[in-house]
Amino acid sequence: MGRIKTFEPEKLVIGIMYTDGDHFRRVTDVLTQLFGKTDSETEEYSFSDYSGYYDGEMDGRVMKRFVSFERLVDPSSLSEIKIRTNGIEDDMSVSGNRKVNIDPCLLSHGRFVMATTKGASFRVPLSDGIFADLSLVYSRGEWTDFFWTYADVKSDRMKRFLSDVRRIYLEQRKGN
């Protein structure tokens, strides 16, 4: 029989979509109050180049960045984090339309998982209507994606960023 152990802490990485740079700054301020300092961030890129899915709701060309947080988190808290970030989205909405879309994710030594409210055959229910989407796995020195992985997440730019964040994470784990 296997022994029940506590989960190893993982790296919190959050994707933020927005149409106005002020919204990005406001969200980042709120997130750092909740989760502490950031330690890495992607360059801004156009999510609309990958998909126009959110352009109508968010009233314009959607930009995106991912940020990682210094403090590691218990991976069992992912659904709670997603519920909190959905609350931030609601608070910043205007007339029922989101001005930001916030996607909390977890990075470990071997995977990148996104939280979502959208169910699918390849997503695992966590709790309270939140699902885990295994987006990438790290094996043999590289990130591997799946047919369901979002196009921007499977990009070389994102895989390079996640490799850098993974190095930070592994250094943090060595220190514990």
4, part of any domain: no
The pLDDT assigned to 96 comes to: 87
35, part of any domain: yes
The pLDDT assigned to 32 comes to: 98
Domain count, the chain: 1
The alpha-helical segments, DSSP class H, found in the chain are 21-35, 78-92, 156-175
Q: Tell me which residue range forms the domain holding 33.
A: 10-175
5, part of any domain: no
Residue 176: pLDDT band with limits 50, 70, 90: low
- Outline where DSSP puts E strands in the chain: 10-18, 38-41, 45-46, 63-73, 100-107, 111-116, 123-127, 130-139, 142-145
| CATH number of residue 146's parent domain | 3.30.70
Residue 157: pLDDT band with limits 50, 70, 90: very high
pLDDT digits (tens, 9 = 90+) for 6-48: 999 999 999 999 999 999 999 999 999 999 999 999 999 999 9
> What is the C-alpha to C-alpha distance for residues 84 and 156, in angstroms, rounded to an integer?
30
pTM above 0.85, yes or no: yes
CA-angle at 79, arms to 56 and 172, nearest 5°: 105
> What is the C-alpha to C-alpha distance for residues 76 and 8, in angstroms, rounded to an integer?
10
62, part of any domain: yes
Structure tokens at 86: 């959905």
With tokens 């047919």, the residue in question is 147
pLDDT digits (tens, 9 = 90+) for 55-95: 999 999 999 999 999 999 999 999 999 999 999 999 999 98
> What is the C-alpha to C-alpha distance for residues 91 and 17, in angstroms, rounded to an integer?
15
